[in-house]
Structure formats: structure tokens, C-alpha cells
Copies of this chain bind each other. A is one copy, B any other.
Amino acid sequence: MKCSRCHEEAVIYYPQSRQALCAEHLKEYIERKVKRAIERFKMLKRGEKVLVAVSGGKDSLMLWEILVDMGYDTEGLYIDLGLGEYSKSSEEYSRGFAEERDLTLRIVRVKEDHGIDIVAAAKRLRRPTCSVCGTVKRYIMNREAVEAGRVLATGHNMDDEASTLLGNLLTWNGEQLLRASPSLPSTHPKLARRIKPLIYVSERESATYCFSHGIKYIIPECPYSEGARLSVVKEALSKIEDRSPGSLLNFVDGFYRKSEGILCRRNGGIKEGVELKPCPLCGYLTSSSGPCAFCRLKSLFSSGE
């Protein structure tokens, strides 16, 4: 099949618009989507620097490449979660990507740098591994971005957004629904701005982009995420998307744009009254009355146990 815009071989086909795109026009299209997200949600001001959280997967590596190509001043952040082979392999892909392009990659090691064993902590606390891992990642990403004076960009794509959103709708998780935003502002010196420039880019697009632009990435899912509830929701949504291409884009875009007046979202998506205080141990913000969740995790491993 030929590209609908030039005579090159197409790499992706969009049934909803009956358009096919070659590698170069796909890149142009994705860049336009990223630009639209950045502008629409005021993600980045001129001159702001970005810290891109990379996992070695397709979305975050593509995001990094695109932000670089769009002219942003970027650094990468790789967090070694200490999840055995999976972490080793993710790191190789992330380092390989950065080295090839001569980009700066910060590496934080959860075990070595912070003394936290995620899998052991999850077992001890009888919490799902993904939940402990999420706490650790969010903390480190924010802290590194604050210290680097950069806006934190993550590679959440449209499918991720749609399934998080649907998961929160299925349980009517009001707090998440009301504060969800692809661009969370920094409301405190210890809180970085967090942005999701890929909310309009589908998983299929980022996979095709990486494949056709020679970005090597880790394909297997994290072994600890298997059977996570979100993946059932994601599968369900992907069936709906197969049947009515474009559904997920409408769903995600509609959530952030049309849901005004349907959902009681105020102040650009930030609910009032979520009170955050500095953690007495590390100084980063927490909603708990004592030490933050990250410092509590650290303390599991620090008392000579």
C-alpha cells in the first residue's frame, strides 16, 4: 500500500479516515498530535526543559526522540526498579537509545540508591507489586525532575489514558476522575509539573513509529504486571477500538474537552482540598500525616532487618 500523501510505501493504515502513511508522514502526523497536546493543555512554555521518564519501551523512547526533534532541551531518566532480567533489559534499551543519539540519561537505582527492594516490600506489606512500584516510580520521577529543574514528561499513550480513565469510571473513583489531567501543574517547589504529551498517540502508532524509525525497545510486558486488572480493561477497550476505529481518541479527547459540564471538573482538573504537606524525613510532599509512602518503604529495609 502507498502513502496517501506521497509515493513511499505505507507503514500504517487508518480505517476510519481511509488514509495510509509512510514512515516519514507518520512521524509528521505524530509530531502534530504531540504539538496539539502540548498547546492545548499548555504543557510546556518556551524554553522550559524536560525530563523524559524512559522505561526502554516504545512509548517513552519515541516521546524522547520526538521532543528532541521538536527542539526541546531534554534529559532522560531511567529508574532501575531492580526487577531482575526485565530491568536489565529495559536499561540496555534505554542506554542504547541515549548513547546512539548522544543524549544524557540519568539513572536512579531503587535498590542501590535508596535501599528499597520492591518485590520484597510488596510481599512484606501484602500489596500488589505494581502498587509499590508505582509509589516508588512516582516519587523518584518527581524528585529527579524537581532537582533537575525540569518538567517531567511520561510516555502514557492514548490506550493507557483510556484504560486508566475507564478503570476509574467503572469504580467511580471520584478523586482520580476529578483531578486527572494530561498536564498537572507544579503547585509547590517540591512538586514538578507532570505532562503526558502522547495522550493522542495510540499504542499502534508508537509501535509502528519505533519499528519504522529503527528504535529498538523492550517488547515483553513487565513480568509482575501480568493479570493486572487494568490489562483486562485495556483489552476490552481494544476490542471496541477494533470495531469502531477512533473510539478511544474520542473517549480520551472527550474526557478532557467535552466532559466539562458533565463531570464536575474545576480549576483545570484539580480538585480543591487535597492537602499535601512536606514529609518530615525527605521534604517532598505527602498527603499522609507522618513520613511519605516512599520514606515508609525505605524504613522497611533500613532498621537492620
Contact = CB atoms under 8 A, between A and B. Distances in A.
A174 B258 contact: yes
Given A262-B263, A263-B263, A172 B233 contact: no
Interface in A230-271: 232-233, 235-237, 239-240, 243-244, 247, 250-251, 254-255, 258-259, 261-264
B258 A261 contact: no
- What copy number does this chain have within its complex? 2
Given A232-B243, A239-B235, A170 B250 contact: yes
Report which residue of A166, A237, A263 has the largest number of chain B beta carbons within 10 angstroms of its beta carbon: A263
A262 B170 contact: no
Contact of A174 (B177, B229, B262): B262
A254 B173 CA distance: 9
Given A251-B170, A264-B263, A236 B240 contact: yes
A116 to B, nearest CB: 29
A273 to B, nearest CB: 12
A240 to B, nearest CB: 5
Interface string A164-206: 0010011110100110000000000000000000000000000
Given A262-B177, A263-B264, A264-B262, A171 B254 contact: yes
A236 to B, nearest CB: 4
A178 B261 CA distance: 9
Nearest to A171: B250
A250 B174 CA distance: 14
Contacts of A170: 240, 247, 250-251
Contacts of A174: 258-259, 261-262
Contacts of A171: 250-251, 254
A83 B254 CA distance: 37
Contacts of A172: 250-251, 254-255, 258-259, 262
Contacts of A239: 232, 235-236, 239
B262 A261 contact: no
Given A174-B259, A236-B240, A262-B264, 14 more contacts: A166-B166, A170-B240, A171-B254, A172-B254, A172-B255, A174-B258, A229-B243, A232-B240, A232-B243, A235-B239, A236-B237, A236-B239, A239-B239, A262-B263
- Identify the 8 closest CB pairs spanning chains A and B, nearest first: A172-B254, A236-B236, A172-B258, A232-B243, A174-B262, A170-B251, A264-B264, A236-B239
28 contacts: A166-B166, A166-B169, A170-B240, A170-B250, A170-B251, A171-B250, A171-B254, A172-B255, A172-B258, A172-B259, A174-B258, A174-B259, A174-B261, A177-B262, A178-B262, A229-B243, A229-B244, A232-B239, A232-B243, A232-B244, A233-B240, A235-B239, A236-B239, A236-B240, A261-B264, A262-B264, A263-B263, A264-B264
